[in-house]
Structure 1
Protein backbone atom coordinates (compact mmCIF):
# COMPACT_ATOMS: atom_id res chain seq x y z
CA UNK A 1 0.00 0.00 0.00
CA UNK A 2 1.33 3.45 -0.88
CA UNK A 3 -0.05 6.98 -0.80
CA UNK A 4 1.73 9.73 -2.68
CA UNK A 5 0.80 13.37 -2.07
CA UNK A 6 1.90 15.76 -4.82
CA UNK A 7 1.97 19.42 -3.81
CA UNK A 8 2.18 22.33 -6.25
CA UNK A 9 3.87 25.31 -4.63
CA UNK A 10 1.53 28.22 -3.80
CA UNK A 11 1.68 31.83 -4.99
CA UNK A 12 5.20 33.02 -5.80
CA UNK A 13 6.61 36.38 -6.82
CA UNK A 14 6.74 35.51 -10.52
CA UNK A 15 2.96 34.99 -10.45
CA UNK A 16 2.24 38.50 -9.19
CA UNK A 17 5.04 40.20 -11.12
CA UNK A 18 3.86 38.73 -14.43
CA UNK A 19 7.23 37.27 -15.34
CA UNK A 20 8.12 33.85 -16.70
CA UNK A 21 8.81 31.25 -14.01
CA UNK A 22 10.54 28.11 -15.18
CA UNK A 23 13.93 27.96 -13.49
CA UNK A 24 13.71 31.64 -12.48
CA UNK A 25 14.28 31.36 -8.73
CA UNK A 26 11.25 33.26 -7.44
CA UNK A 27 10.11 33.01 -3.83
CA UNK A 28 6.76 32.69 -2.11
CA UNK A 29 4.71 35.82 -1.50
CA UNK A 30 3.24 36.49 1.97
CA UNK A 31 0.02 34.86 0.71
CA UNK A 32 2.08 31.94 -0.56
CA UNK A 33 3.75 31.48 2.82
CA UNK A 34 0.34 31.39 4.52
CA UNK A 35 -0.83 28.85 1.96
CA UNK A 36 2.27 26.72 2.56
CA UNK A 37 1.36 26.56 6.25
CA UNK A 38 -2.18 25.48 5.32
CA UNK A 39 -0.80 22.79 3.01
CA UNK A 40 1.38 21.48 5.82
CA UNK A 41 -1.55 21.33 8.24
CA UNK A 42 -3.74 19.57 5.66
CA UNK A 43 -1.08 16.93 5.03
CA UNK A 44 -0.43 16.45 8.76
CA UNK A 45 -4.17 15.77 9.20
CA UNK A 46 -4.08 13.09 6.50
CA UNK A 47 -1.06 11.15 7.74
CA UNK A 48 -1.58 9.24 11.04
CA UNK A 49 0.60 10.28 13.95
CA UNK A 50 3.63 8.04 14.18
CA UNK A 51 3.43 6.94 10.55
CA UNK A 52 6.65 7.28 8.59
CA UNK A 53 6.55 9.83 5.77
CA UNK A 54 9.20 10.97 3.31
CA UNK A 55 9.40 14.44 1.77
CA UNK A 56 10.90 15.30 -1.62
CA UNK A 57 11.08 18.70 -3.28
CA UNK A 58 12.30 20.58 -6.30
CA UNK A 59 15.37 22.58 -5.31
CA UNK A 60 14.03 25.97 -6.45
CA UNK A 61 13.39 28.47 -3.67
CA UNK A 62 9.58 28.58 -3.94
CA UNK A 63 9.32 24.81 -3.58
CA UNK A 64 11.96 24.68 -0.83
CA UNK A 65 9.94 27.22 1.15
CA UNK A 66 6.81 25.11 0.71
CA UNK A 67 8.65 21.94 1.70
CA UNK A 68 10.11 23.66 4.76
CA UNK A 69 6.63 24.35 6.15
CA UNK A 70 5.73 20.68 5.68
CA UNK A 71 9.03 19.48 7.13
CA UNK A 72 8.48 21.44 10.34
CA UNK A 73 5.19 19.64 11.06
CA UNK A 74 6.48 16.20 10.10
CA UNK A 75 9.90 16.44 11.72
CA UNK A 76 11.70 15.32 8.56
CA UNK A 77 14.31 16.83 6.27
CA UNK A 78 13.21 17.36 2.66
CA UNK A 79 15.24 15.58 0.00
CA UNK A 80 15.93 18.15 -2.74
CA UNK A 81 15.97 17.00 -6.36
CA UNK A 82 16.54 19.40 -9.25
CA UNK A 83 14.84 16.93 -11.58
CA UNK A 84 11.50 17.96 -10.00
CA UNK A 85 11.91 21.54 -11.29
CA UNK A 86 9.48 23.23 -13.66
CA UNK A 87 10.28 23.31 -17.38
CA UNK A 88 13.25 25.50 -18.22
CA UNK A 89 12.26 28.40 -20.48
CA UNK A 90 15.85 29.35 -21.25
CA UNK A 91 16.27 32.99 -22.29
CA UNK A 92 12.65 33.78 -21.29
CA UNK A 93 13.04 33.06 -17.59
CA UNK A 94 12.47 36.11 -15.39
CA UNK A 95 11.39 38.21 -18.37
CA UNK A 96 7.88 39.68 -18.71
CA UNK A 97 5.35 37.07 -19.81
CA UNK A 98 4.49 39.17 -22.86
CA UNK A 99 8.13 38.83 -24.03
CA UNK A 100 7.66 35.06 -24.15
CA UNK A 101 4.17 35.33 -25.66
CA UNK A 102 5.54 37.28 -28.67
CA UNK A 103 8.13 34.58 -29.42
CA UNK A 104 6.26 31.47 -28.39
CA UNK A 105 5.87 28.76 -31.04
CA UNK A 106 3.12 26.33 -29.97
CA UNK A 107 3.61 22.62 -30.58
CA UNK A 108 1.86 21.08 -33.59
CA UNK A 109 -1.57 19.51 -33.10
CA UNK A 110 -0.27 16.29 -34.65
CA UNK A 111 3.19 14.90 -35.27
CA UNK A 112 6.33 15.33 -33.18
CA UNK A 113 5.60 17.21 -29.94
CA UNK A 114 8.14 15.91 -27.46
CA UNK A 115 11.20 17.45 -29.16
CA UNK A 116 9.50 20.84 -29.57
CA UNK A 117 11.35 23.68 -27.74
CA UNK A 118 8.75 26.43 -28.34
CA UNK A 119 11.19 28.63 -30.25
CA UNK A 120 13.00 30.15 -27.24
CA UNK A 121 16.78 30.04 -27.03
CA UNK A 122 17.96 27.62 -24.37
CA UNK A 123 14.46 26.33 -23.59
CA UNK A 124 14.10 22.73 -22.55
CA UNK A 125 12.28 20.35 -24.87
CA UNK A 126 9.25 18.55 -23.51
CA UNK A 127 11.13 15.26 -23.99
CA UNK A 128 13.96 16.39 -21.68
CA UNK A 129 11.46 17.74 -19.14
CA UNK A 130 9.39 14.55 -19.12
CA UNK A 131 12.37 12.23 -18.83
CA UNK A 132 13.91 13.99 -15.84
CA UNK A 133 10.59 14.17 -13.92
CA UNK A 134 9.90 10.51 -14.73
CA UNK A 135 13.38 9.54 -13.54
CA UNK A 136 12.93 11.41 -10.25
CA UNK A 137 9.46 9.96 -9.66
CA UNK A 138 10.53 6.42 -10.50
CA UNK A 139 13.45 6.70 -8.06
CA UNK A 140 11.14 7.95 -5.30
CA UNK A 141 8.71 5.10 -5.90
CA UNK A 142 11.46 2.49 -5.62
CA UNK A 143 11.80 3.47 -1.97
CA UNK A 144 9.76 1.32 0.43
CA UNK A 145 8.07 4.13 2.40
CA UNK A 146 4.26 3.86 2.27
CA UNK A 147 3.59 7.63 2.55
CA UNK A 148 5.53 10.08 0.43
CA UNK A 149 5.15 13.78 -0.33
CA UNK A 150 6.50 15.47 -3.46
CA UNK A 151 6.63 19.28 -3.69
CA UNK A 152 6.88 20.41 -7.29
CA UNK A 153 5.47 22.86 -9.85
CA UNK A 154 2.19 23.10 -11.73
CA UNK A 155 3.66 21.99 -15.04
CA UNK A 156 5.79 19.19 -13.66
CA UNK A 157 2.83 17.73 -11.75
CA UNK A 158 1.51 16.38 -15.07
CA UNK A 159 4.55 14.15 -15.44
CA UNK A 160 4.58 12.99 -11.84
CA UNK A 161 0.98 11.81 -12.34
CA UNK A 162 1.74 10.35 -15.79
CA UNK A 163 4.70 8.44 -14.35
CA UNK A 164 2.49 7.21 -11.49
CA UNK A 165 -0.05 5.69 -13.91
CA UNK A 166 2.79 4.46 -16.12
CA UNK A 167 2.05 6.38 -19.29
CA UNK A 168 4.98 5.62 -21.65
CA UNK A 169 7.20 8.64 -22.31
CA UNK A 170 6.50 8.43 -26.04
CA UNK A 171 2.75 8.70 -25.35
CA UNK A 172 2.80 11.70 -23.03
CA UNK A 173 3.08 14.40 -25.72
CA UNK A 174 -0.58 15.43 -25.34
CA UNK A 175 -0.92 14.81 -21.58
CA UNK A 176 -1.94 17.63 -19.24
CA UNK A 177 -3.20 17.36 -15.67
CA UNK A 178 -4.01 20.86 -14.48
CA UNK A 179 -3.69 21.67 -10.79
CA UNK A 180 -3.87 25.13 -9.18
CA UNK A 181 -1.01 26.66 -7.23
CA UNK A 182 -0.96 25.41 -3.66
CA UNK A 183 -2.94 22.26 -4.43
CA UNK A 184 -2.60 18.71 -3.15
CA UNK A 185 -3.03 15.75 -5.50
CA UNK A 186 -3.50 12.36 -3.84
CA UNK A 187 -2.34 9.14 -5.53
CA UNK A 188 -2.90 5.69 -4.07
CA UNK A 189 -1.72 2.15 -4.83
CA UNK A 190 -3.47 -0.78 -3.14
CA UNK A 191 -1.51 -3.74 -1.81
CA UNK A 192 -3.63 -6.48 -3.43
CA UNK A 193 -4.11 -5.64 -7.11
CA UNK A 194 -1.40 -2.95 -7.06
CA UNK A 195 -3.68 -0.71 -9.08
CA UNK A 196 -2.67 2.94 -9.08
CA UNK A 197 -5.42 5.47 -8.53
CA UNK A 198 -5.65 9.24 -8.91
CA UNK A 199 -7.80 9.79 -5.82
CA UNK A 200 -7.97 13.57 -6.13
CA UNK A 201 -6.39 16.07 -8.51
CA UNK A 202 -5.54 19.63 -7.55
CA UNK A 203 -7.47 19.81 -4.27
CA UNK A 204 -7.41 23.36 -2.80
CA UNK A 205 -10.02 23.09 -0.04
CA UNK A 206 -7.29 23.58 2.55
CA UNK A 207 -6.61 27.08 1.15
CA UNK A 208 -10.02 28.48 2.12
CA UNK A 209 -8.60 29.94 5.33
CA UNK A 210 -5.17 30.83 3.93
CA UNK A 211 -6.15 33.82 1.81
CA UNK A 212 -4.28 32.38 -1.18
CA UNK A 213 -6.68 30.50 -3.39
Structure 2
Protein backbone atom coordinates (compact mmCIF):
# COMPACT_ATOMS: atom_id res chain seq x y z
CA UNK A 1 0.00 0.00 0.00
CA UNK A 2 1.28 3.43 -0.86
CA UNK A 3 2.12 5.71 2.02
CA UNK A 4 2.53 8.80 -0.13
CA UNK A 5 0.73 11.83 1.21
CA UNK A 6 -1.32 14.11 -1.03
CA UNK A 7 0.39 17.31 -2.04
CA UNK A 8 -0.69 20.39 -0.17
CA UNK A 9 0.41 22.65 -3.00
CA UNK A 10 2.45 24.63 -0.49
CA UNK A 11 5.22 26.79 -1.85
CA UNK A 12 7.18 29.07 0.50
CA UNK A 13 6.03 32.68 0.27
CA UNK A 14 9.57 33.87 -0.41
CA UNK A 15 9.96 31.90 -3.66
CA UNK A 16 9.99 35.07 -5.74
CA UNK A 17 12.30 37.06 -3.44
CA UNK A 18 15.15 38.51 -5.46
CA UNK A 19 18.58 37.97 -3.94
CA UNK A 20 20.57 39.74 -6.63
CA UNK A 21 19.87 42.19 -9.45
CA UNK A 22 22.42 43.21 -12.03
CA UNK A 23 21.68 46.28 -14.10
CA UNK A 24 23.86 46.25 -17.21
CA UNK A 25 24.34 49.64 -18.86
CA UNK A 26 25.78 50.21 -22.32
CA UNK A 27 27.38 53.64 -22.49
CA UNK A 28 25.47 56.23 -24.57
CA UNK A 29 26.65 58.26 -27.57
CA UNK A 30 30.42 58.81 -27.70
CA UNK A 31 32.64 60.89 -29.96
CA UNK A 32 33.72 57.90 -32.03
CA UNK A 33 30.07 57.38 -33.02
CA UNK A 34 29.64 60.84 -34.48
CA UNK A 35 33.16 61.04 -35.90
CA UNK A 36 32.63 57.68 -37.62
CA UNK A 37 35.88 56.22 -36.37
CA UNK A 38 36.51 52.76 -34.93
CA UNK A 39 35.83 52.50 -31.20
CA UNK A 40 37.21 49.38 -29.59
CA UNK A 41 39.86 50.45 -27.10
CA UNK A 42 40.10 53.91 -28.68
CA UNK A 43 39.44 56.06 -25.61
CA UNK A 44 36.64 58.26 -26.89
CA UNK A 45 34.53 60.52 -24.68
CA UNK A 46 30.79 60.95 -24.33
CA UNK A 47 29.29 63.63 -26.55
CA UNK A 48 27.08 66.32 -24.94
CA UNK A 49 24.08 64.18 -25.93
CA UNK A 50 25.81 61.19 -24.35
CA UNK A 51 26.32 63.09 -21.09
CA UNK A 52 22.62 64.00 -20.99
CA UNK A 53 21.77 60.35 -21.59
CA UNK A 54 24.11 59.32 -18.76
CA UNK A 55 22.19 61.61 -16.41
CA UNK A 56 18.93 59.97 -17.53
CA UNK A 57 20.41 56.50 -17.00
CA UNK A 58 21.46 57.46 -13.45
CA UNK A 59 17.97 58.80 -12.68
CA UNK A 60 16.31 55.65 -14.04
CA UNK A 61 18.51 53.38 -11.96
CA UNK A 62 18.04 55.49 -8.84
CA UNK A 63 14.27 55.11 -9.30
CA UNK A 64 14.50 51.33 -9.73
CA UNK A 65 16.70 50.57 -6.73
CA UNK A 66 15.02 50.85 -3.31
CA UNK A 67 16.37 53.33 -0.79
CA UNK A 68 18.86 51.74 1.56
CA UNK A 69 19.70 48.84 -0.75
CA UNK A 70 23.30 47.73 -1.07
CA UNK A 71 24.69 48.98 -4.39
CA UNK A 72 27.98 48.79 -6.21
CA UNK A 73 28.92 50.18 -9.62
CA UNK A 74 31.48 48.36 -11.76
CA UNK A 75 32.65 49.92 -15.01
CA UNK A 76 34.93 49.50 -17.98
CA UNK A 77 37.87 51.85 -17.53
CA UNK A 78 37.43 53.54 -20.93
CA UNK A 79 36.36 57.17 -20.55
CA UNK A 80 32.98 56.85 -22.25
CA UNK A 81 31.96 54.06 -19.87
CA UNK A 82 33.58 55.60 -16.81
CA UNK A 83 31.79 58.93 -17.38
CA UNK A 84 28.49 57.05 -17.57
CA UNK A 85 29.33 55.15 -14.39
CA UNK A 86 30.32 58.34 -12.57
CA UNK A 87 26.80 59.78 -12.96
CA UNK A 88 25.19 56.64 -11.58
CA UNK A 89 27.70 56.16 -8.78
CA UNK A 90 27.18 59.77 -7.71
CA UNK A 91 23.43 59.23 -7.44
CA UNK A 92 24.02 56.35 -5.01
CA UNK A 93 26.89 57.96 -3.10
CA UNK A 94 29.40 55.25 -3.99
CA UNK A 95 32.69 55.17 -5.87
CA UNK A 96 32.75 53.21 -9.14
CA UNK A 97 35.03 50.19 -9.43
CA UNK A 98 37.05 50.08 -12.67
CA UNK A 99 37.57 46.78 -14.45
CA UNK A 100 39.38 46.92 -17.80
CA UNK A 101 38.11 43.41 -18.60
CA UNK A 102 34.69 44.98 -19.32
CA UNK A 103 36.11 46.90 -22.28
CA UNK A 104 34.78 46.65 -25.83
CA UNK A 105 36.49 44.29 -28.27
CA UNK A 106 39.91 45.56 -29.32
CA UNK A 107 40.26 46.22 -33.05
CA UNK A 108 44.03 46.57 -32.87
CA UNK A 109 45.57 48.92 -35.42
CA UNK A 110 42.11 49.94 -36.66
CA UNK A 111 41.18 51.79 -33.47
CA UNK A 112 40.68 55.51 -33.97
CA UNK A 113 40.88 55.14 -37.75
CA UNK A 114 37.90 55.90 -40.01
CA UNK A 115 35.26 53.17 -39.87
CA UNK A 116 35.57 52.94 -43.64
CA UNK A 117 39.23 51.89 -43.25
CA UNK A 118 38.17 48.92 -41.11
CA UNK A 119 35.22 48.04 -43.34
CA UNK A 120 37.54 47.68 -46.33
CA UNK A 121 39.81 45.22 -44.49
CA UNK A 122 37.44 43.35 -42.21
CA UNK A 123 37.11 39.62 -42.87
CA UNK A 124 33.70 38.38 -41.64
CA UNK A 125 33.57 35.07 -39.76
CA UNK A 126 32.70 31.89 -41.62
CA UNK A 127 29.18 30.47 -41.49
CA UNK A 128 30.56 27.27 -39.98
CA UNK A 129 33.89 26.35 -38.43
CA UNK A 130 35.94 28.16 -35.81
CA UNK A 131 33.95 31.36 -35.46
CA UNK A 132 35.26 32.00 -31.93
CA UNK A 133 38.90 31.98 -33.01
CA UNK A 134 38.34 33.74 -36.32
CA UNK A 135 40.96 36.33 -37.39
CA UNK A 136 39.15 39.42 -38.72
CA UNK A 137 42.18 40.39 -40.78
CA UNK A 138 43.31 43.39 -38.71
CA UNK A 139 46.58 43.27 -36.78
CA UNK A 140 46.04 43.17 -33.03
CA UNK A 141 42.28 42.65 -33.14
CA UNK A 142 40.83 40.34 -30.49
CA UNK A 143 39.04 37.14 -31.37
CA UNK A 144 35.55 36.53 -30.03
CA UNK A 145 36.99 33.82 -27.76
CA UNK A 146 39.48 36.28 -26.25
CA UNK A 147 36.76 38.86 -25.55
CA UNK A 148 34.47 36.25 -24.05
CA UNK A 149 37.17 34.90 -21.75
CA UNK A 150 38.05 38.26 -20.25
CA UNK A 151 34.41 39.36 -19.80
CA UNK A 152 33.57 35.98 -18.25
CA UNK A 153 36.50 36.39 -15.86
CA UNK A 154 35.22 39.84 -14.87
CA UNK A 155 31.73 38.43 -14.26
CA UNK A 156 33.14 35.58 -12.19
CA UNK A 157 34.68 38.15 -9.84
CA UNK A 158 31.55 40.34 -9.80
CA UNK A 159 29.35 37.40 -8.78
CA UNK A 160 31.75 36.30 -6.04
CA UNK A 161 30.90 39.51 -4.19
CA UNK A 162 27.55 39.33 -2.39
CA UNK A 163 25.65 42.48 -3.27
CA UNK A 164 21.93 43.08 -3.73
CA UNK A 165 22.21 45.49 -6.65
CA UNK A 166 25.21 45.61 -8.97
CA UNK A 167 25.39 48.09 -11.84
CA UNK A 168 27.75 47.03 -14.62
CA UNK A 169 28.67 49.71 -17.16
CA UNK A 170 30.11 48.30 -20.34
CA UNK A 171 29.91 48.48 -24.15
CA UNK A 172 27.46 47.18 -26.73
CA UNK A 173 29.85 44.52 -27.98
CA UNK A 174 30.60 43.23 -24.48
CA UNK A 175 27.01 43.05 -23.28
CA UNK A 176 26.45 39.74 -25.12
CA UNK A 177 29.09 38.08 -22.97
CA UNK A 178 27.75 39.57 -19.73
CA UNK A 179 24.28 38.17 -20.45
CA UNK A 180 25.60 34.83 -21.73
CA UNK A 181 27.67 34.39 -18.56
CA UNK A 182 24.61 35.18 -16.43
CA UNK A 183 22.51 32.45 -18.06
CA UNK A 184 25.32 29.90 -17.86
CA UNK A 185 26.32 29.58 -21.51
CA UNK A 186 29.65 27.88 -22.05
CA UNK A 187 32.14 30.01 -23.96
CA UNK A 188 32.41 27.39 -26.70
CA UNK A 189 28.66 27.83 -27.35
CA UNK A 190 29.02 31.55 -28.16
CA UNK A 191 30.05 31.33 -31.79
CA UNK A 192 26.73 32.59 -33.15
CA UNK A 193 25.28 34.44 -30.16
CA UNK A 194 24.61 38.17 -30.24
CA UNK A 195 22.35 40.11 -27.87
CA UNK A 196 22.18 43.38 -29.79
CA UNK A 197 21.09 46.46 -27.84
CA UNK A 198 21.15 50.23 -28.32
CA UNK A 199 23.68 52.62 -26.83
CA UNK A 200 22.54 53.95 -23.46
CA UNK A 201 20.36 50.92 -22.74
CA UNK A 202 19.72 49.13 -19.45
CA UNK A 203 19.45 45.34 -19.28
CA UNK A 204 18.13 43.87 -16.02
CA UNK A 205 19.25 40.47 -14.74
CA UNK A 206 17.74 38.91 -11.62
CA UNK A 207 18.22 35.83 -9.47
CA UNK A 208 15.37 34.60 -7.28
CA UNK A 209 15.99 33.59 -3.70
CA UNK A 210 14.14 30.26 -3.69
CA UNK A 211 15.02 28.34 -6.86
CA UNK A 212 18.08 30.53 -7.55
CA UNK A 213 17.05 30.68 -11.17
CA UNK A 214 18.55 33.47 -13.22
CA UNK A 215 16.30 35.64 -15.32
CA UNK A 216 16.81 38.19 -18.07
CA UNK A 217 14.05 40.51 -16.90
CA UNK A 218 14.60 43.09 -19.62
CA UNK A 219 17.03 43.39 -22.51
CA UNK A 220 18.20 46.71 -23.92
CA UNK A 221 15.54 48.94 -22.34
CA UNK A 222 15.78 52.54 -23.60
CA UNK A 223 12.51 53.92 -22.23
CA UNK A 224 14.49 56.26 -19.95
CA UNK A 225 15.93 57.97 -23.06
CA UNK A 226 12.52 58.92 -24.49
CA UNK A 227 12.20 62.74 -24.61
| TM-score, structure 2 as length reference | 0.91
One of 26, 33, 37 as aligned partner of 1:19: 37
What is the match of residue 176 of structure 1?
Answer: 194
Map of 2:151 onto structure 1: 133
Q: Is the CA contact (8 Å cut-off) linking 1:117 and 1:126 kept in structure 2?
A: no
1:162 is aligned to 180
Q: Deviations over 1:36-89 (max 9, x none)?
A: 000000000000111110100000000010000001100000000000000000
Shift, 1:125, TM fit: 1.0
User: d(CA) in 2 for partners of 1:146 and 1:191?
Assistant: 11
Aligned-pair distance for 1:142? 1.1
Q: Could you tell me how far 1:117 is from its partner in structure 2?
A: 2.5
1:84 aligns with 102
Which protein shows a greater Rg?
Answer: 2
CA distance in 2, matches of 1:117, 1:5: 32
The CA distance in 1 between the partners of 2:128 and 2:213, in whole Å, is 31
* 1:197 paired residue number: 215
SS at match of 1:86: coil
Range that drifts further, 34-43 or 46-55: 46-55
Question: Could you state the TM-score of these two structures normalised by the residue count of structure 1?
Answer: 0.97
Structure 2 residue runs of 5 or longer lacking an equivalent are 1-18
Q: How many residues were matched structurally?
A: 209
**Secondary structure of 2:40 counterpart:** coil
User: Over the residues paired in the alignment, what is the CA RMSD in angstroms?
Assistant: 0.5
